[in-house]
Amino acid sequence: MTRGVIRGARIASVGISLPERVLTNEEISRTLETSDEWIRTRTGIRERRIAAPDQAPSDLAAEAGEHALQRAGVSAADLDLVISSSLVPDMVFPATAAVIADRLGATNAGAFDVQAGCSGFVFALASAVSFVGSGMYSNVLVTGAEAVSRALDWTDRSTCVLFGDGAGAVVVVPDPDAIFTFDLGTDGSGMPLLNMPAGGARLPASLQTVEARQHFLKMNGRQIFRFATRAVAGSCATVLDAAGLSVEEIDLFVPHQANLRIIDNVAKRIGVAPERVFTNLERYGNTSCASIPLCLAEAEESGRLKDGDQLLLAGFGAGLSWGTCVTTWRAG
């Protein structure tokens, strides 16, 4: 577990990109033994976005990155670094971040991927804030982009109804008055609870792995629920203590959008009032690494997130991993 206070960097802007295709619960129920009511009562999800056949995470991330750069007033040529986070990247290698940088024209930027499951965006943000806060770099683009639908077994009701596609991006810039406090953690013993078994060096692709449907996302939902509620609540308490803040001082809590019951459970455990919890799960489902930046963009646009607000972010996912942070939001 790693926690720390980082000074000298802030989020300057947020950009998002969403596929046009909307897949509703009712549409899923036409080909799968389920219903809109069954999905909503267990997850809180009504619909989700699905990437077009020719859309990869890098395509969505590049569009989100363009919006974020425009809003920050930063040109792609001025980027020092691009960091990408995805549960299901474009490919095993090269880094999706390299593709994003090329698409944007960030010819002067280094680029790398962060793989930390659905916690990836918070881990990537911690990296960006560290680079900028140290003075090593001035402009860093962080993306969370997903086409998780490509990794779903659409005959598996326990997983395929949960996820959606989309992307979010933030630009991190210097600010001498800004402070971030992070808590990052991983428990590798939970690897079997959420993974894609085949396609890597441990279990290379073969006719047998394809026939066994091992190239799809596998998840033990009950155990992930228990892990998430325990680990996220504990991490939130840790990061608030490190930041010297009480939960009553938090203006907006933005958790990873995995399941509404998990979000409600965590909020109750840490004592955050429902009106200070932001969710968009109903319309987008679990967009993995994209969920937190999508929420940030919508919260700011709707007036739920204002200049000077104390913001608490919390991610969790495969690894098993968790990542939380606290910062004061600065508009523009």
Q: Which CATH number fits domain 2-178: 1.20.120.160, 3.30.200.20, 3.30.2320.20, 3.40.47.10?
A: 3.40.47.10
Catalytic residue among 139, 259, 265, 286: 286
Distance CA 116, CA 118 (A): 6
Q: How far is CA 166 from CA 195, 244, 256, 263, in A?
A: 20, 34, 14, 20
Show the tokens assigned to 185. Answer: 């953690």
Catalytic residue among 67, 118, 236, 265: 118
Place of tokens 């999905």: 39
The answer to whether the Cα torsion of 115, 329, 141, 277 is positive or negative is positive
Contact 144, 60 (CB under 8 A): no
Intervals of CATH 3.40.47.10 along the chain: 2-178, 182-328
pLDDT tens-digit readout, 25-57: 999 999 999 999 999 999 999 999 999 999 999
Residue 284 has pLDDT above 70, yes or no: yes
Please report the pLDDT score of residue 185 as a whole number.
Answer: 96
Residue 3 has pLDDT above 80, yes or no: no
Residues 27-66: b if buried by 16+ CB within 10 A, e if exposed: ebbeebebebeebeebbbbbbbbbbeeebbbbbbbbbbbb
Distance CA 166, CA 147 (A): 7
User: Residue 201 has what DSSP assignment?
Assistant: S
pLDDT tens-digit readout, 210-248: 999 999 999 999 999 999 999 999 999 999 999 999 999
How much is the pTM? 0.97
Distance CA 88, CA 307 (A): 33
What DSSP string describes 239-302?
HHHHHT--GGG-SEEEE--S-HHHHHHHHHHHT--GGGB---HHHH-B-GGGHHHHHHHHHHHH
pLDDT tens-digit readout, 155-172: 999 999 999 999 999 999
Please report the pLDDT score of residue 54 as a whole number.
Answer: 96
Residue 244's CB is within 10 A of a number of other CB atoms, namely 10
The answer to whether the Cα torsion of 294, 297, 302, 305 is positive or negative is positive
CATH superfamily of 182-328: Thiolase/Chalcone synthase (3.40.47.10)
Please report the pLDDT score of residue 167 as a whole number.
Answer: 98
236 is catalytic: no
Residue 2 has pLDDT above 70, yes or no: no
118 is catalytic: yes
Show the tokens assigned to 208. Answer: 């047998």
Please report the pLDDT score of residue 331 as a whole number.
Answer: 72
Show the tokens assigned to 182. Answer: 């992070």
Cβ-Cβ contacts under 8 Å for 36 (sequence gap 6 or more): 24, 25, 26, 29, 46
Give the SS3 label for residue 116. Answer: strand
Residue 243's CB is within 10 A of a number of other CB atoms, namely 23
First to last CA, the chain: 32
Distance CA 288, CA 120 (A): 8
Please report the pLDDT score of residue 4 as a whole number.
Answer: 87
pLDDT tens-digit readout, 136-152: 999 999 999 999 999 99
Please state the separation of Cα 231 from the chain's center in Å: 17
Catalytic residue among 160, 236, 256, 265: 256
Please state the separation of Cα 118 from the chain's center in Å: 5
Q: Among the residues of the chain, which ranges form H helices?
A: 25-28, 36-43, 57-72, 96-104, 120-133, 157-160, 207-211, 221-243, 260-270, 281-284, 291-302
Give the SS3 label for residue 219. Answer: strand
Place of tokens 């455990």: 269
CA atoms within 13 A on the CB side of 189: 2
160 is catalytic: no
